[in-house]
Chains A and B, each alone.
Chain A
């Protein structure tokens, strides 16, 4: 109990202490942690890359030339450059040109024919990757959600602990009561046993005294009957019997 009091007083006492001195002084003028964490959430990838025309020239070039030369400007520029390069033989036409032409034809034909399929396939692979990652994220969120609910349920359950303690207290009280009554019963039976013993002893003694006395009286009486008395009593008996038989005869 006293420990609980001390624990309750501790935080208040700690708060009353003076704040601790700064461990070291930071020699920076740059402010730290002014904005939120910039790493999360990561901004999503852009859908499509920069526009490229004919697979070679970025769209920005055409936009750059549009105000001054209109739509055909860059194409005229390309044609002029090509003619210049060819005429001055900065680009020389030789056997490699033929090889390049064949290779380029095949490549362009392949791209035009199978480009869409390959793109769809690559997109599907990407989709699967993104789907698995998303599924993992959703699962994790779901798991955390269920964990939160479980926690809330546990907190609700904690509120019932008063009932639990009451039940336990009742149990213990009953145990104590039962034990007490048991002991009471034992005491009673023991005392009764001793008292019964005393009573039985007294009875036995009384009985023995009685028996002995009766025996003694009989013995003395028998001793006191002298032979003379015996004869007299026998004669008296015979006379009585005769009288009786007479009266009996008379009755019949």
Chain B
């Protein structure tokens, strides 16, 4: 077995389900850490889908779809009144 990698440094995909709670607790929740995480996420998405020679449609369409879903979620309490049945 290779030398045990610290739980702190494992990626999310390699964390076992039981360790998820401790892993989440170990993450950096300071404002600087949150900003860093947002910056890293943005950089990953940008460099993978947009900053390429022949960028395709998927780059922005995924962002738009995410925006649609998010706005639907935020306006669900308003949309709820158009339901056909009250009890499901």
Contacts and interface: CB of A to CB of B under 8 A. Distances in A.
- Sort chain A's interface into a size bin: 20 to 34
A50 B55 CA distance: 9
B1 interface: no
B51 A45 contact: yes
Contacts of B16: none
A74 B51 CA distance: 28
B79 A55 contact: no
Given A58-B58, A58-B62, A119-B56, 10 more contacts: A45-B52, A46-B52, A49-B58, A89-B84, A93-B84, A94-B79, A94-B82, A96-B79, A115-B57, A126-B53
Given A48-B53, A50-B49, A89 B59 contact: no
B62 A48 contact: no
29 contacts: A46-B52, A47-B52, A48-B53, A48-B54, A48-B56, A49-B48, A49-B49, A49-B52, A49-B58, A50-B48, A52-B49, A52-B56, A55-B57, A55-B58, A55-B61, A56-B58, A56-B62, A58-B58, A89-B83, A89-B84, A89-B85, A90-B76, A91-B72, A92-B79, A92-B82, A94-B82, A119-B54, A123-B54, A126-B53
Interface in A78-121: 87-94, 96, 111, 115, 119
B85 to A, nearest CB: 7
Contacts of A115: 57
Interface in A36-92: 45-52, 55-56, 58, 87-92
B80 interface: yes
Interface of A: 45-52, 55-56, 58, 87-94, 96, 111, 115, 119, 123, 126
A90 B80 CA distance: 8
A92 B76 CA distance: 9
Contacts of A55: 57-58, 61-62
A91 B61 CA distance: 20
A90 B82 CA distance: 11
Nearest to B84: A89
B4 interface: no
Contacts of B15: none
> Taking each of B52, B58, B80, B88, which has the highest tally of chain A beta carbons within 10 Å of its own beta carbon?
B58
A129 to B, nearest CB: 11
Contacts of B52: 45-49
Given A49-B48, A50-B48, A92 B56 contact: no
B25 interface: no
A92 B83 contact: yes
Contacts of B83: 89, 92
Contacts of B49: 49-50, 52
A35 B52 CA distance: 27
A50 B62 CA distance: 12
A87 B87 CA distance: 11
Contacts of B79: 92, 94, 96
B11 to A, nearest CB: 14
Contacts of B62: 52, 55-56, 58
The 5 A-B pairs of least Cβ separation, nearest first, read A52-B58, A94-B82, A49-B52, A49-B49, A55-B61
